Amino acid sequence: MYRRLFFASLSLLLLGACNAATDTGEPRAYQVEVVTDELRHPWSMAFLPNGDVLITEKAGRLRIFRDGELLPEPVSGLPPIHPTGQGGLLDLALHPDFETNRWLYFSYVANHEGDATTHVARGRYRDGKLSDVEVLFIAEPAGHTGRHFGSRLVFDKDSYLYITVGDRGNQPRAQDLSDHAGGTHRLHDDGRVPDNNPFVNHPDAKPSFYTYGNRNAQGMTMHPETGVIWQVEHGPRGGDELNIIEAGNNYGWPIITYGINYSGTQVGEGITHKEGMEQPVHYWDPSIAPSGLAVYTGNAFPDWQDNFFVGALAHEHLARLVIKDNKVVKEEKLLTERGERIRDVRQGPDGLLWILTDESDGSLLRLKPAK
C-alpha cells in the first residue's frame, strides 16, 4: 500500500545521469512513468488501435488498461487455464489485420490429459469479451513439470505465426523432432502448417517445427525494418542466448551450450561448438534470465535507434544492446536501481518503451525522455 501511494503521488520518477549514457559516453537522463502498479505477475501486453492496452496476468486474467486506469473487470471468454510453476496465461499477439478481423492470439498453459502443456488459441476481441475462441496449437506430449513452457508469439511480414516452446525441463526433448518441445514452430494464422516449413516432409518430425535445439525462448520479435526474427532464450547457469531464427536451424541445446547445470556439472557434451549447430549472436555468462525482446525504432530517443532491449529476470534490469553487423558491440544495464524482475518490453505506438515487471505488485512502466 505504501509503495502504491508513493508512486501515485510522484507519477514520474526522474533517473539521474548515472543510470544511462549515450553511445558517446555523455550522460542521459530519462523518466520512468509508473503507468500502474496494480498488476499481479504480468507476462505480456498488446496495444489496441483504440488506445487500450491488454495485459496478461499469469494466474489467468486478461486485464484492460484504459485512459490511465486499470479496469477492475478482466476480459471474459478465455478458455480454462492451468497456472502451474512458470505457466499460466502468457503471451499476446494481434493479427496483422486485427482492425478488420479482431483476432487476438494468446498462449497459455492448460491441463492436457492430466498433465500440463503450452496451448495457443485465438478469439475475436470486442468490448472486453472474447468470442469464437479456437485452439490452434497444443505442444505434445504434455509433461509433469511446471517449467520451460516458452510461449512467445510473433507474426512476420507474411502473416506467419511463430511460437516458442521450451524443453519442459527435460533436456533431450529439444533434439527430438517428433516432440514439440524445445523449438520454434511456424503456422498460418488459422493454425494450418505451411507447406514450406523446413521439416514438413520429414517422416519423423512434427511438421510445425521451424527451428529446434532451443532451451526456453521467452523473448522474440520481428525486426520491423529487415523482417528478421530474433529470439532470446534462457540458458542454465550461464549460456543465455540471443539468436537469429532461420528455417531448419539447430541451435544446439543441450549438446552445445555456454552454460553449465545448476549443480555445476557439464551440460551435454560439455562443448560450445559443433558442426551443424548454430552459434548465438550473443550469450550471457552469468545468466540474466532474458524475457521480452524489442527493437527500438522510435524517435523519442534518437541514438537508441535500432538498439535491442531485453528484459532480465535475474540481476533485475533492462539490457540495452547496440548491434553492428550482427554482433553486440555494447551492452548497458538500465533500471537496476528499481530491483524488479523485467518480464516484457515493447515499443508502444507512442514511440516509447513500455515495460512489465514480474512481481506480486507488478508494474507497467513507460520510459520517456527527461524534460
105-116 tens-digit pLDDT: 999 999 998 999
pTM: 0.93
Catalytic residue among 82, 95, 119, 148: 148
Neighbouring residues of 25: CB distance < 8 A, sequence distance ≥ 6 = none
Q: Rounded mean pLDDT of 152-158?
A: 98
Per-residue confidence (pLDDT) for residue 371, from 0 to 100: 79
Residue 148 appears among annotated catalytic residues: yes
| 313 against 20, higher pLDDT | 313
- Residue among 308, 307, 309, 312 nearest 291 (CA): 312
Q: What percent of the chain has pLDDT over 90?
A: 91
Local confidence band at 30 (pLDDT 50, 70, 90 cut-offs): confident
Query: What span, in angstroms and rounded, lies between the C-alpha atoms of 244 and 242?
Result: 7
Query: What span, in angstroms and rounded, lies between the C-alpha atoms of 271 and 277?
Result: 12
Q: What percent of the chain has pLDDT over 70?
A: 92
Please report, for residues 66, 179, 281, 325, the alpha-carbon distance to residue 215 in angstroms, rounded to integers and kept in the order given. 36, 13, 16, 25
Q: Which stretch, 13-17, 80-84, 367-371, has highest mean pLDDT? A: 80-84
Q: Rounded mean pLDDT of 34-52?
A: 98
Report whether pLDDT(6) > 90. no
Neighbouring residues of 239: CB distance < 8 A, sequence distance ≥ 6 = 257, 258, 259, 260, 267, 283, 284, 285, 287
Per-residue confidence (pLDDT) for residue 60, from 0 to 100: 98
Report whether pLDDT(24) > 90. no
- Report the DSSP beta bridge partners of residue 331: 321
Per-residue confidence (pLDDT) for residue 56, from 0 to 100: 98
Report whether pLDDT(27) > 80. no
Local confidence band at 102 (pLDDT 50, 70, 90 cut-offs): very high
Q: Rounded mean pLDDT of 279-304?
A: 97
Positive or negative, the Cα torsion across 218, 313, 319, 365?
Answer: positive
Query: What span, in angstroms and rounded, lies between the C-alpha atoms of 9 and 44?
Result: 26
pLDDT in tens, 176-206: 999 999 999 999 999 999 999 999 999 999 9
Q: Are 31 and 369 in contact (CB under 8 A)?
A: yes
Per-residue confidence (pLDDT) for residue 5, from 0 to 100: 36
Local confidence band at 29 (pLDDT 50, 70, 90 cut-offs): low
